[in-house]
Structure 1
């Protein structure tokens, strides 16, 4: 029996990794902080997953079986199953990695004692440095001998998750706390050189030699494009991220921004990124983002604008990449201007951002949040767009 341990039974845990493990014949143990969710998984021993395929415009209903769950309070039991696991993954959110480090360390200690074969921990977290963060936190819980053993036998492997998993609200017509909805994207790139164990026997998982190139491609294509649709779509009153694809004005900004990053990415990674493959990825992104079945809200995709306007995140990071290769990020500046105007009252970070703008002005807010000099050409382009977005033509759906 092949065993997988999945830390986190949320959207990505159940909506992606659970499917991959199930299809590959694993028995999966979810490790979950939410005790009520863990109890429900143990009661049912299965959960429903609906895949919304952008190409066929059909949905596929699956029942994921061969599962059980442990709560994060069950430290000894977690260590025991960790010591037996063939595959391990996390999808807990970057801010929670330090909380699961002692649980992983307990499992590492037991694997060391039992001299179990090497195993890898695949981090499905939305941060390039996530694997290093968890590795460091786990090391701090180990003695020197076990830490040395873990260096050779425990891999901390970053992944690039591109599957979209929107909130499974009642709009999908299913009232079930375990119900998960996702798009049908089935690929998971991972950092090949970081692996210590065997290559995963899981369809869809594949190794890349230059993980940074893969992460930046996702951040500056997938994440940037999603942000464009969300922030610009919000200002025009759209509800879902697929709706701007029927708006020529917003499509021009969306495609223009990805043209800017495409040119920069191919210049930066000529040996790692293929132009034809990248063109295919962009086509796939357009089809999947434009999938009306997903019904992903602009508010969900736009949430936390302060982080997304950070110096190295999808917006400003994209612009920096472009400027490094002599490409002026005009369309990216338009998205940044829209993000600065994101004022959704139920998003605490949006409320905080607007409060900063009222208190110190948009120029100083841009400098503090994004590290962008307001008097620079790029800063001026953002501020000009910010002012232009007050015009009625950008606030009314066409």
Structure 2
């Protein structure tokens, strides 16, 4: 039994192939990087280190893997036709590139077995399943094939929460295939999007209210990361686990989580409050794991994207206000994000150029799509001015 994994990067190897292997599946990667494909095929396995919250770690050998280049179209189609499950982790901008391969594989599957199959979309794009389905249908001409995809291929959204830090010399392993990830298995997926029967795969959790699960990931996990990254950067910390051990930053994190948790539980009454509380507690412990050595700059990168109205910070504020909750602590996160000026982050430099050229109010209006005269924006501006003063003190 095989699982086809499009993308052999951090999530592809650091999460999905690991779950496939623990579930008894062979993983067939489809990967564009020739050196990586060659290395995987030559060795037939790769090392994965899982880092636990208690400070221990476990080294795994992920075997039963092989990889194809995009040029090996017939082999890819055959793998898709025979697969038990398919997953994508290629980046939303690369979905158009993999759609033709999926279409050809589904056409072959339609002819050969006609069995239903599901595609786990592990992409940082809210509408990735629908986008990918539409792209695949564009490459199918036969009515029977299009009907097969529409009725028997599930394009299933997932919520990826396993943290996979960038591997470098600090982990002390000189192996181009070596990966590090946190010891976290939970992978929620949209139960309503499944076609046929989902195979038993370790870690997969069916979720009926998938929109609520996505909002929780964005406004708890991603917002929490943003608080730690932007405040951690201002106060001169290198790693996320250092930032969460700062008493002031931890209090802002907890305050933001309390605001957003209350809003989430009000908006989605089918969420279990006890389960939610345990999830937040677990996440706090995971963020504090020193073994991850997740850098502040990695988590803070691309601030312009993260300041958009539907993203983790402003989106969390809008959620709170829609439920009658004023997001005081979320405002502190936004104020800190506006000061992010890491020299090696092009988006951070563009943000600061915008502030110099047009002012902070203009950025709140044009990037965040906030009314600069609203109570929330006024709160952000007030805290921004305070942080400008404190930033100078911290950097003396």
The TM-score range, normalised by the shorter chain, is: over 0.9
In the alignment, which residue of structure 2 is the partner of 1:396?
Answer: 394
Q: Is the 8 A contact 2:18 2:62 kept in 1?
A: yes
Write the distance in 2 (CA, Å) between the matches of 1:118 and 1:203: 20
State the shift of 1:302 in Å. Answer: 0.5
3-state DSSP of counterpart to 2:239: coil
Is 1:344 the counterpart of 2:342? The answer is yes
Is 1:384 the counterpart of 2:386? The answer is no
> Deviations for 1:169-208, whole angstroms, at most 9, x for unmatched residues?
1100001111000000111000001000312211210111
Task: Name the TM-score, length of structure 1 as normaliser.
Answer: 0.97
Task: Name the TM-score, length of structure 2 as normaliser.
Answer: 0.97
In the alignment, which residue of structure 2 is the partner of 1:296?
Answer: 294
Q: Return the match for 2:368 from 359, 367, 370.
A: 370
In the alignment, which residue of structure 1 is the partner of 2:116?
Answer: 118
State the shift of 1:116 in Å. Answer: 2.9
Q: Is the 8 A contact 2:234 2:391 kept in 1?
A: no
Is 1:11 the counterpart of 2:10? The answer is yes
3-state DSSP of counterpart to 2:61: strand
State the shift of 1:393 in Å. Answer: 7.0
- Of 241-250 and 384-393, deviating more is 384-393
In the alignment, which residue of structure 2 is the partner of 1:67?
Answer: 65
How many residue pairs match? The answer is 394
Listed as ranges, the matches of 1:202-217 within 5 Å are 202-217=201-216
3-state DSSP of counterpart to 2:99: helix
In the alignment, which residue of structure 2 is the partner of 1:267?
Answer: 266
Write the distance in 2 (CA, Å) between the matches of 1:243 and 1:394: 21
Q: Return the match for 1:94 from 68, 92, 95.
A: 92
In the alignment, which residue of structure 2 is the partner of 1:312?
Answer: 310
Write the distance in 1 (CA, Å) between the matches of 2:247 and 2:347: 29
Q: Is the 8 A contact 2:245 2:288 kept in 1?
A: no
State the shift of 1:333 in Å. Answer: 0.8
Q: Is the 8 A contact 1:192 1:207 kept in 2?
A: yes
Write the distance in 1 (CA, Å) between the matches of 2:24 and 2:392: 51
1:243 and 1:394, CA in 2 relative to 1: closer, same or farther beyond 3 A?
farther
Q: Structure 1 unaligned segments of length 5 or more: list them.
A: none
In the alignment, which residue of structure 1 is the partner of 2:184?
Answer: 185
The two structures, once aligned, show a CA RMSD in angstroms of 1.2
Listed as ranges, the matches of 1:117-156 within 5 Å are 117-143=115-141, 144-156=143-155
Write the distance in 1 (CA, Å) between the matches of 2:203 and 2:119: 17
Q: Is the 8 A contact 2:2 2:84 kept in 1?
A: yes
State the shift of 1:245 in Å. Answer: 2.1
Q: Is the 8 A contact 2:77 2:101 kept in 1?
A: yes
Is 1:241 the counterpart of 2:207? The answer is no
List structure 1 segments (4+ residues) > 6 angstroms apart after TM superposition. Answer: none
Write the distance in 1 (CA, Å) between the matches of 2:127 and 2:295: 28
In the alignment, which residue of structure 2 is the partner of 1:251?
Answer: 250
Is 1:169 the counterpart of 2:168? The answer is yes
Q: Structure 2 unaligned segments of length 5 or more: list them.
A: none
Q: Is the 8 A contact 1:128 1:212 kept in 2?
A: no
Write the distance in 2 (CA, Å) between the matches of 1:44 and 1:138: 33
State the shift of 1:218 in Å. Answer: 0.8
Q: Is the 8 A contact 1:235 1:395 kept in 2?
A: no
Write the distance in 1 (CA, Å) between the matches of 2:252 and 2:91: 30
Q: Is the 8 A contact 2:20 2:202 kept in 1?
A: no
3-state DSSP of counterpart to 1:30: strand
- Of 356-365 and 177-186, deviating more is 356-365
